């Protein structure tokens, strides 16, 4: 498996931006589940170290792929620096799993019976600053005359609960806006060795599209969610290979879409 370190900073900032200035790329990358870090004040939410290293706490390998991809595209990348178990930045505030009391089959003691003030504190700690950071990047890019086509990078576990093993090496999630998703799927399927999921293992109907709905669909900006099976990106060479493959395809898509006006209200 990929590097299991806790992605943390000395100041415990809730969000960071990699390659902040970027170049002229139309893409803005986002990794909502980049880190499994939980500040000491939360006492690990009552979980042991094995649980906090597992996929329930973060998306293993996703941020390593995302950073390599950001470097290849010369695009900025917004990363959450806190675990999704504290609060999931890719969920609307009314989602039942915004602050999960059970994640997959694991009970999260530190998330039980939170009152409204405790929930608001979690929102203020991570969710709000994360999305504010995305909005600020979009605004600064707009001032430079750059669009922000958002690509979110995730990873998924090969085995989920007691369902059959997930066969897809990669899943492309999109709604009716197919400007990035459709050509990305077509390009990936040219590789006969790949089993490409379309709206698998998740779809927008599962309420996993929040970041894209909030920051891209609201502006008519092209967007897509990429899910990589985490055993496909378990080491540096695999992470590099996938980032290079995706960078080549995304660059071709950008050329095909061209510099047309694809956004409103940026």
What domains appear along the chain, each with residue ranges and CATH number?
15-257 (3.40.630.40)
Residue 9: the pLDDT is 40
d(CA 28, CA 226): 13
Buried b / exposed e over 202-218, threshold 16 CB at 10 Å, is: bbbeebbbbbbebbbbe
pLDDT of 264: 52
- Predicted pLDDT of residue 265: 44
Terminal Cα distance for the chain, rounded: 39
Phi, psi dihedral angles at 223 (to 5 degrees)? -160, 165
pTM: 0.93
In this predicted structure, what is the pLDDT of residue 262?
A: 60
Q: Which residues of the chain have pLDDT under 70?
A: 1-11, 259-266
Residue 263 pLDDT:
61
């Amino acid at each position: 498996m990929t590097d299991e370190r806790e992605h943390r900073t000395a100041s415990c900032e809730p969000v960071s931006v990699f390659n902040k200035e970027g170049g002229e790329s139309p893409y803005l990358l986002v990794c909502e589940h980049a880190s499994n870090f939980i500040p000491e004040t939360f006492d690990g939410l009552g979980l042991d170290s094995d649980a906090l290293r597992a996929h329930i706490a973060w998306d293993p390998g996703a941020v390593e792929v995302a950073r390599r991809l950001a470097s290849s595209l010369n695009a900025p990348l917004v990363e959450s620096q806190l675990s999704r178990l504290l609060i999931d930045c890719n969920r609307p505030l009314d989602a039942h799993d915004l602050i999960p009391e059970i994640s997959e089959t694991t009970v999260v003691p530190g998330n039980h019976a939170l009152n409204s003030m405790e929930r608001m504190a979690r929102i203020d700690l991570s969710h709000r600053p994360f999305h504010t950071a995305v909005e600020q990047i979009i605004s600064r890019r707009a001032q430079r005359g750059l669009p922000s086509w958002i690509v979110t990078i995730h990873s998924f576990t090969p085995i989920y609960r007691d369902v059959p093993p997930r066969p897809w090496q990669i899943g492309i999630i999109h709604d009716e806006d197919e400007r990035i998703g459709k050509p990305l799927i077509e390009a990936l399927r040219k590789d006969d060795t790949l089993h490409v999921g379309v709206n698998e293992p998740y779809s927008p109907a599962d309420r996993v599209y929040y970041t894209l709905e909030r920051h891209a669909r609201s502006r008519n900006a092209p967007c897509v969610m990429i899910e990589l099976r985490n055993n496909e990106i378990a080491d540096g060479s695999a992470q590099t290979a996938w980032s290079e493959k995706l960078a080549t395809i995304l660059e071709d898509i950008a050329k095909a879409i061209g510099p047309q006006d694809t956004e409103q209200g940026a």
